[in-house]
Chain A
Amino acid sequence: MLGNEAIARGAYEAGVKVSAAYPGTPSTEISENIALYDEIYAEWSPNEKVATEVAIGASISGVRAMASMKHVGVNVASDPLYTISYGGVNGGLVLVAADDPGLYSSQNEQDTRCVARAALVPVLEPSDSQEAKDFVKFAYEISEKYDTPVIVRTTTRLAHSQGTVTLEERMEVEDKPYERNPGKFVMMPGNAIGRHVYVEQRMKAMAEDGCGFAINKAEYNDTSVGFITSGIPYQYVKEACPDASVLKLGMVHPLPRKLIEEFASKVDKLYIFEELEPVIEEQVKSWGIEAVGKEIFTLQGEYSANLIREKILKEEVSGKAPAQVPARPPILCPGCPHRSVYSVLNKLGIHAAGDIGCYTLGAVPPLNVIDTTICMGASISTLHGMEKAKGKEYIKNWVAVIGDSTFMHTGVNSLMNMVYNQATGTVMILDNSTTGMTGHQDHAATGKTLKGEIVPAINIFQLCKAMGIEHVVEVEAFDTEKLEKVVKEEVARDAVSVIITKAPCVLLKGNVFPNKCKPVEDACKKCGMCLKPGCPALTKNPDGSIAIDETMCNGCGLCKQLCKFDAIETV
């Protein structure tokens, strides 16, 4: 079972009734698997803040609830998180946060444990699929016992690894009765001041009680070397040093101090082995305990058993050096509508303030269109900031590009800001009818829910119109001629405008172009125009003419449009 699947199973077995999330690698499969259980209401919310608030509402009403997200989603959700930490729960409340050491699919490498410390929320950290399931269940137990939201922190390696899991029955958890309790759930200053006192006591009590939690366990073997570790790094310790003593922390915040002090006193040499920030290490050292951590272990990326072999066992692990080979970075798929849009922007020499999605790949050669990518929704607001800093002429060769799902996530606020504050920039919404990068999840503008129900779709065109934007144009993404004309017009305009380019993601089920492209024999002039957008289905023959891989071509016809010599035809 995939780590994420196991988390979903844990929610099911714990009697969870409501789950809300926004997709984000590596957390997406949690919701996709929860949606398979009829007993749980599960939804895609427009963003992580909304999802967390949905789960909070469900908890206050008396049922067990979950919100899941990737690490940067926790930033979006942090507003409700910091305050519900004060309010606490009625039904158990768990937030799953999936960190991404090594940045397999993220814009930063932040450590959710740091957020949890600031928000005064306990964190559990499983180290395999079985624990992922079990820890979620335990999280609900302590959430209700200590009146606190609980974060279950995973990493990419756990979320996307499979291991064996023993299944159990779903617990029948009775709904908690709802009683009006403004002192707990109306967080105005007079109430919050008292709750803060409670929260500090709660964390202290959990640190004490945590010494007895079964998930915090000392495994004593050879006591000349001891490791304090948690999560996936625990597996690397077991792999490289099976005979060492290990204190495996299942709860990484608050730390069970007495247990740690006892362990430290029994081992001769203590190592703290944790990926990313020295969260455990700094606390342990502040108690006057001698230990080695980030002096020898990196702050970046994923750990491995080899890291221990190299740094502690002083073994030669590198062996053969990696071969020097051409990189194979991810690219837009053959037939991707973003490629068509970017080929037009590239031709016009336009800069784009970009956003988060597959279309971020417009930043790399040969497209080279995107200049900035910060976070979800930032494209529109950064373009606005540039205009306010440098004036409207400065952005006449700029646009903001954002996907439909990202626009619904947080882009919409930024667009309202442009209207309100008299911007003149052009926003391009690349509408491919799905959340593409995370593997095709629906959202408010697709007309389908996580559970597969058909519902009214929010109309992005009308939404922009309703904000009072006069110039909103819809263009078919592969109509490069019209798109070029529209982009030229709109960037020149002294008013805010929106261009919605439309074409479904080429990988969406049922979305196949009828005819593939192929070169016309002996017609190629070897000018290379068709190669400019970097479609992976196109390569050069040894003589410089064009070859099109028929198994890869999805028949979008972009290369055919670009060829001035009619040397590409559709089959």
Chain B
Amino acid sequence: MTKNIMIVGVGGQGTLLTSRILGGITLDAGYDVKLSEVHGMAQRGGSVVTFVRYGEKVAEPIVEEGQADVLIAFEKLEALRYSHFLKKDGVLVVNEQRIEPITVVTGAAQYPDNIVEGLEREHTVYKMDAMEEAKRLGNSKVFNIIVLGMAARHMDFSKEAWLEVIEKTVPPKTIEINQKAFLAGYGA
């Protein structure tokens, strides 16, 4: 059975690194895997989405509406934007950070209130302010790995396998902090 994972966030939040780690662990486990990302127009600030599909044999590289087993959201508004991609029994893992899009900053639109509460009424939600946690760990950049750690609980790989693939994927100098970040999310 093919498993469908989505990672959504704001350009610049490190979705590509997270998807590389995910791709790595599925390959190590011997699955067929397809991973699809969109390298958007500007480098930063836009809504970004990455699809990861793994299983015995994977055909299409994208996850479609209503099919995601796990939706990993690095930002609240993005969680809401893509929530209709979740399966009925899909799991939402959300970083409770608020990043206002330019449409909100200029006053053209309003940032919705109580996003996570609303989502909790319809889906199984695991939430955390990963940015605060990352700052506590001493490096705000690793918040994405904390979120990945939370999501890892809902996938089919052992903790050790995750730590190993992180070691292989991130720059050598950042292995320790990234592994620490992963465990902070995994234990939560």
Contacts and interface: CB of A to CB of B under 8 A. Distances in A.
Given A163-B33, A331-B44, A534 B101 contact: no
A104 B40 contact: yes
A332 B101 CA distance: 12
Interface residues of A, number: 53
Interface residues of B, number: 48
B59 A235 contact: yes
A305 B60 contact: yes
Nearest to B140: A551
Contacts of A333: 12, 42-45
Contact of A305 (B45, B64, B106, B108): B64
State the majority secondary structure of interface residues on B.
Answer: loop
State the majority secondary structure of interface residues on A.
Answer: loop
Given A326-B77, A439-B39, A538-B105, A331 B84 contact: no
Contacts of B61: 128, 157, 161, 163, 232, 235
A104 B108 CA distance: 23
Interface string B40-71: 11111111000000000011111011100000
Contacts of B1: none
A26 B39 CA distance: 8
A160 B34 contact: no
Given A232-B61, A305-B64, A361-B42, A161 B106 contact: no
Interface stretch (A11-19, A312-320, A490-498): A312-320
Contacts of A320: 65-66, 83-84
Given A235-B61, A327-B103, A358 B43 contact: yes
Given A238-B59, A329-B46, A322 B84 contact: yes
A366 B106 contact: yes
A437 B42 contact: yes
B108 A365 contact: yes
B42 A236 contact: no
A128 B36 CA distance: 11
B161 interface: no
A242 B40 CA distance: 32
B106 A534 contact: yes
A156 interface: yes
A374 to B, nearest CB: 17
Given A328-B78, A358-B42, 4 more contacts: A163-B58, A332-B42, A366-B106, A437-B43
Interface of B: 10-12, 23, 27, 32-47, 58-62, 64-66, 77-78, 80-81, 83-84, 100-106, 108-112, 140
11 contacts: A104-B39, A104-B41, A162-B23, A163-B35, A235-B60, A304-B64, A306-B65, A326-B77, A328-B101, A330-B41, A534-B106
Interface of A: 25-26, 104-105, 128, 156-157, 160-164, 232, 235-236, 238-239, 242, 304-306, 317-323, 325-334, 358, 361, 365-366, 436-437, 439, 507, 531, 534, 536, 538-540, 551
